A and B are shown apart, each in its own frame.
Chain A
Amino acid sequence: MLFNSFQYILFLPLVLVVFHLMPKKYRWIMLLIVSYYFYMCWKPAFAILMFISTIVDYWAGIGMANTTDKRKRKGWMMMSLCVNLGMLFFFKYLNFLTYNVEVMMAKFNIFYDSPILHIILPVGISFYTFQTLSYTLDVYKGKAPAERHFGYFALYVSYFPQLVAGPIERPGHLIPQLHSPPALTKDDVRYGINKILLGYFKKVVVADNLALYVDQMFAHVPGGTGLQYYVASVMFIIQLFADFSGYTDIAIGSARLMGVRLQENFNRPFFTTSLSRFWARWHMSLTTWIRDYLFKPLIFSYRDWAWAVTIFVFVVIGLWHGAAWTFVLFGFFNGVIMVLQNMYQGIKPLREFNRSRVGKLILAIWNFNLLALLGVFFRSGNVTDAFEIIKRICLDTRLKASDLRSAFMAEMYIGMILLVLLAVTTLFNRELRFRWNWMYITVMLVLIFLMGSDSSNQFIYFQF
């Protein structure tokens, strides 16, 4: 069930009414049932995997809590890691690996025909796997207590608002709220509704309409000029933001209407002057996960190889997004540029300039353009297309207005209007408090009805 579907518009109010009518101690049962129903709407069999993951991590948590023996605790933790990462590897990376091994062997004249497994990637597997892993690792490190109630633990893994595309919640933040959600206040309701409306605006108005132009341009490479591809790559990075942050907003808003506060995933990421600052504000629940469970342990062990650790970690982030060389390169170039940016920012004579307003503005524009270029790897169907597009953007520098006119003009103009509208939303305060809240609701509803796209596009991050 997609958030931008007619079914969800009926599903959420129904769930909220039943949730608030139900006695508090039975709410978890109802939420668990609707969460599994929500997930099984894609493919019922997927729920089995999530259930396996839940059982394994529940056992592992209890096992670790019941012993003080370090070796045994480590054994439970390793068991959880193997099962969860094993499932993730099988469903997401196995075909990629066998295919590449086959190609590599062919280079050495060793031919074998590996079978292609027709595996369907379970929706949101990367998200709930990381969420359950954070539970196991936190319990192992003693940062969070083991959850002894199986129902609440299962709900922590499957809680429907954030199940398929995050935010990736930590046990210490979400489980206590599921046990005893605070009483719903009028601020919660106002914030929840405002946040959901903002999410729909970002998804169905901005992202889905930008997709019309972006999809056309990326479908037939190199069917455009440098300028056309530049516009498409800028629109794509905005589309990606609107799509993913739109999903997160709907998730946060939906949970808030049940009194649950999910963590924020984005913090105006484009207003940054370097990639490291960008990643500190983009998909924060993933980047903090990677920082805590991967980057910190690695940097602790390999302090002198910080640059290599950075690149490695970003390759992992790239691979987390998908099993394709485009994602590997996306991560690799992010890592390399970040290392170079850190070196640049270490140059003393430039520090003053970088801190000045002009310097910040130049760096922000530069950084945004870097992101647009990196986004080409994220969006392209294959590596050849990605390099071809980047070549066009960098080398085909003849700027002609007629080029823009001849490439899906209407879609492009609508895209420009949407960028302005999206930019306006960044001026909203974080709590989404408005002096005239009725006006905000009215304007958002009008925009959604008028300009909403009915393409029923999946959220881009569902595929991860």
Chain B
Amino acid sequence: MRTLLRYSAFFIIAFVAIALCLDQWMAKKIIFRDPNSNQSKMLRLVSSTDPLEIPIFGSSKARSAFIPDTLGPTVFNYGMDKCNYDVIEFELAHELAKPSTAPIIIEFNHRFFIHEPEHTIDAATFVPIIDKPGVRDYLKKNGRDELRWSIPGVRYYGSILTFIRSASRKETGQRKHISKGGLFIDNPASPRVLKSQVDARDNEIAEQHDLLFRKTHVEEAISAQGLARLQGLDALLLFSEPKDRIELFEAQLAQRPDRPILIVYTPQHPSELKGMANYDRVLAKFKEWETRFPNVHVYNYSHVRLPDTDFKNIAHLNTAGARVLSGMLKHDAQQYLSNP
């Protein structure tokens, strides 16, 4: 026992010292250094009281598609990786609680309502602001609260590389521009890479059809693995409509009739929509929301056909595509954007 304690002492001291030093370095110098990082965006959202700010909420599709400078002087792009309604629910709750009457832009796509907090709610985004009002409750509600997130030294473990990467990111590069939360890449996808991605999507659609056929025709076989795969493919390809999530979203849409909410379905690469057999459900929802909530305005650009050179990959627009979308939205929603 003595041997163990004696020779472990250095290890324990080193563990605590290194953990605390890195913790303080992160907290004071690194985490909020990049104003366009996810954690800075969240801090801005919960702290900002600018009554004129027009926030854009959405996934990385939103981050690369909406150019704030084109849309208006007070627009800020809060788009971030893997963000869907799991995170937008939190963002909307905070934004709607503000006295502002400025419009809110929400980027919509067919995976908007998929509820998978363990993938969508990133610790690196929320742990730095965990002491802000409502954050811990939100994490608890989604089963994403961990004891260690309150313990200095280990609270940032697993996120440090993310913080360092965002802190060392340059505002502008030869082919990359970062502005007011948006991140825009000039390069189009190389034709070979794009073709590979389209092929992959075609394979997934074919596989989904095959599994569905086997599932619905009892004389054919489907394994347990196949069933799980089918569920995964459905989530990837189809519009998912969990009732409770949609009700929650609709309650938020109804919360502030004085604040225009612009729901924007950005231009999609044809391969993104190809397998969406229930696209009509999306249209029905859009129609329903516009009818039920007078402050909700839907801008559906999903089928606007852009050339492949306007895409960074099949899921994201590049700068050229973003210019097209931002120009269209600026024109179509002028009445809300020009006079927030």
Contacts and interface: CB of A to CB of B under 8 A. Distances in A.
Contacts of A451: 160-161
Given A6-B154, A225-B193, A454-B123, A185 B3 contact: yes
Contact of A446 (B10, B18, B164, B224): B18
B219 A6 contact: no
Contact of B157 (A225, A324, A449): A449
Interface string A434-462: 00001001100110011111110000000
A186 interface: yes
A103 interface: yes
B199 interface: yes
B176 to A, nearest CB: 11
B208 interface: no
Interface residues of B, number: 47
Interface string A5-23: 0100000000011001100
A419 to B, nearest CB: 16
Nearest to A119: B224
Interface stretch (A69-77, A154-162, A399-407): A399-407
Given A225-B192, A451-B160, A106 B199 contact: no
Contact of A6 (B19, B146, B203, B227): B146
A280 B18 CA distance: 39
A189 B9 CA distance: 11
Interface in B1-53: 1, 3-4, 6-8, 10-11, 14-15, 18-19, 22
A223 interface: yes
Interface string B206-249: 00000000000011110111010100000000000000000000
A441 B11 contact: yes
A452 B158 contact: yes
Interface string A80-118: 000000000000000110010011001000010110101
> Of residues A118, A190, A402, A450, which shows the largest number of chain B Cβ atoms within 10 Å of its Cβ?
A450
A350 interface: no
A220 interface: yes
A184 B221 CA distance: 57
Contacts of A111: 219
Given A95-B223, A99-B223, A116-B223, A222 B8 contact: no
Given A113-B219, A222-B203, A184 B197 contact: no
A168 interface: no
A441 B159 contact: no
A285 to B, nearest CB: 27
A190 B219 CA distance: 62
B154 A103 contact: no
B230 to A, nearest CB: 13
B14 A450 contact: no
Given A220-B204, A445-B14, A454 B196 contact: no
A460 B189 CA distance: 33
Interface in A220-264: 220-225, 228, 257
* Majority SS at the chain B contact face: helix
A46 B119 CA distance: 28
A381 interface: yes
Interface in B158-215: 158-161, 164-165, 187, 189-190, 192-193, 196-197, 199-201, 203-204
A2 interface: no
A186 B19 contact: no
Contacts of B123: 454
Nearest to B226: A99
A224 B193 contact: yes
Given A189-B7, A222-B200, A438-B10, A99 B221 contact: yes
Interface of B: 1, 3-4, 6-8, 10-11, 14-15, 18-19, 22, 123, 146-148, 154, 157-161, 164-165, 187, 189-190, 192-193, 196-197, 199-201, 203-204, 218-221, 223-225, 227, 229, 313
> 3 shortest A-B CB distances, which residue pairs?
A454-B158, A223-B200, A20-B1
Interface of A: 6, 16-17, 20-21, 95-96, 99, 102-103, 106, 111, 113-114, 116, 118, 184-186, 189-190, 193, 209, 220-225, 228, 257, 324, 381, 388, 398, 400, 402-403, 406-407, 410, 414, 438, 441-442, 445-446, 449-455
11 contacts: A6-B146, A6-B148, A99-B223, A102-B221, A106-B219, A113-B218, A222-B199, A388-B203, A441-B10, A453-B158, A454-B123
